[in-house]
Structure 1
Amino acid sequence: MKNVTVALLAILALSGCSQRVADLTVASTKNMNLNSDGFVTGERVEGEDMVPVVLFPFGIPQVKEATDKAIENNHCAVGLTDVVVTQNNHAFLFLLGAIGFSVEGNLVIDANKPGCEQYLNKA
């Protein structure tokens, strides 16, 4: 019985909850030239903004920060397509753990940006 109790407590302590918040066709937190003819779809990336929780959260997680981290995976990227925003709550009884947001999507690369000419043949 003691082993079962320990196992249940371990499962409960390691469990978390993730909830899909939004599905977006295009998202960006960066300035971009919408008239550019050099947009190319890049690889699928993910960005997270998580804050620790010890009795209370040590900050406020931001979707913008998670989006910025995803876009900044490539210096030629200006946005994301096919975006999924997920809210994560990995805090045991809201006492210990982490909460935050993760943003996943395909990079939108502007091949006309300086230093990004290698993407022009992919357009």
Structure 2
Amino acid sequence: MHKGLIFGLIGLISVGCTTRLVDFTTISTKNVDWSRAATFSRAPVRVEGKDVVHIIVFIPTGIPNMKEAIDQAIESKPGCVALVDGVVYQKLWWIPYIYGQSSFVVEGTPLIDSGLSGNIMAKPIVAPVVVEQKPQSVPVVAAQKPDTSAQLQKLKELKDAGLLTEQEYETKRKELVGQL
């Protein structure tokens, strides 16, 4: 009887509630390249992210942030860019004038971009290559080294086109003549 009374009092003074805020098909706080969506895959397990603030006496230590909870869930799985088929809850419990917690909880299935997963064995990550385009008026030098007279002719054409200064032309011409 005495234990029942104690548990009854604790139940009456403890306040708590969980509210289901939203069910979602896809959610992300990241900049997702949806043109690559065909390469995304679902992880076999669900993940959870929380942003919790504490209530001491009756003063909260902050405000829970849903974005932080979503970020934590996404960042818990390498290569995850979004969550699919999930739910967002707001949870609160409080023992008046003692202690409590308020939080956002996000649960969902990670959507993995294999190019970002960091799993080197699964798929090699290739760094992007920046290619600078040269102006169309600049002739491209052939892979094979032409003879000296052809090089001198090409050098004269570059000077006449205004792409080489007189000093550059003379320096390069002396260099080519010295190879003879």
Range into which the TM-score falls when normalised by the shorter chain: 0.7 to 0.9
Higher RCO structure (Cα 8 Å, ≥6 apart): 1
Would you say how many aligned residue pairs link Structure 1 and Structure 2?
Answer: 120
Q: More strand by proportion, 1 or 2?
A: 1
| Mapped contact 2:21–2:90 kept (Cα < 8 A) | yes
Aligned residues: CA RMSD: 2.3
Larger Rg: 2
| Mapped contact 2:65–2:104 kept (Cα < 8 A) | yes
Give the deviation of 1:104 after TM superposition. 0.3
TM-score by length of 2: 0.60
CA distance in 1, matches of 2:41, 2:97: 42
Alignment of 1:43-54 (within 5 A): 43-54=45-56
Structure 1: runs of 5 or more not aligned: none
Structure 2: runs of 5 or more not aligned: 124-180
Give the deviation of 1:15 after TM superposition. 5.7
Q: More helix by proportion, 1 or 2?
A: 2
Structure 1 SS opposite 2:3? helix
Residue equivalent to 1:76:
79
Return the letter of the residue paired with 1:9: L
CA distance in 2, matches of 1:111, 1:19: 34
Residue equivalent to 1:92:
95
**Aligned CA distance change for structure 1 residues 51 and 7 (closer, same or farther; 3 Å):** same
TM-score by length of 1: 0.84
Q: Percent identity?
A: 37
| Mapped contact 1:28–1:79 kept (Cα < 8 A) | yes
| Mapped contact 1:53–1:94 kept (Cα < 8 A) | no
